[in-house]
Structure 1
């Protein structure tokens, strides 16, 4: 079963690792989008969010305090959903639909990250990890 969990972790973090890479290599383009959304210090926010995503994803992938890594992803996803994808503010139907999809995706991933946090924090043996949980719920 530990191999299945490890494969699941790989599949889960692939999105975040790709996104973190984009934040750090395409900072200018992402900064323009963040500025259009009214994010203060947009360039720093883009870079910081890339670092948070990357660290959280790597922690989950390698099993280095994966519970904390899952919480880092929640810390990134929830504000991003509300600040970057506020679909309720959009008047254009296509833009509204796009932002609603992105908002729902971020919230679903935040929910999955919270479930992973609960799983990592309550299971004593995760198999194929470098450390055990940092936070214990059980």
Structure 2
């Protein structure tokens, strides 16, 4: 294999997809294995019907992470994760509700989530690259 700018781009997109997916995968695994704590966390945000909120959130995280890793339906997986991230950021990391060390913690979480959201937008714009299910299907269909 010759390393060209295209190969470098495909490698970068694969690595980037996996790194972005790791956040959602870790969250989904942790919340799935510790459902009582996950429900308590949702309740702590003041959201009604925590189970009704948690189950779709887990589905988006599991499916979205798998889609990013595989590069399958990448635009839609990234869009779903972005739609999940935006309200989650404001609900879970509303730093303006805190003071002191707690405020600093939530400022960091807020801007980390915004940064992650930016990565999802970039992935929606660029696509998954050739080293992905989407890339293979696009090559075969053209």
TM-score, normalised via structure 2 length: 0.81
Larger deviation, residues 4-13 vs 99-108 = 4-13
Structure 1 or 2: larger helix share?
2
Query: In structure 2, what is the equivalent of residue 136 of structure 1?
Result: none
Of structures 1 and 2, the one scoring higher in RCO (CA 8 A, sep 6+) is: 2
Deviation of the 1:43 alpha carbon:
2.5
Give runs of ≥4 in structure 1 deviating > 4 Å.
Answer: none
Distance of 1:43 and 1:33 partners within structure 2: 11
What RMSD in Å do the two structures reach over aligned CA positions? 2.0
Deviation of the 1:58 alpha carbon:
1.0
Q: 1:4 aligned to 7, 12, 20, which one? A: 12
**What 5-or-longer segments of structure 2 have no aligned partner?**
1-6, 138-142
Distance of 2:49 and 2:112 partners within structure 1: 25
Distance of 2:112 and 2:38 partners within structure 1: 18
- Superposition pairs of residues 1-138 of structure 1, within 5 angstroms: 1=7, 2-90=10-98, 92-120=99-127, 126-131=129-134
**What 5-or-longer segments of structure 1 have no aligned partner?**
134-138
Distance of 1:95 and 1:3 partners within structure 2: 38
Distance of 2:106 and 2:15 partners within structure 1: 30
Matched pairs, number: 129
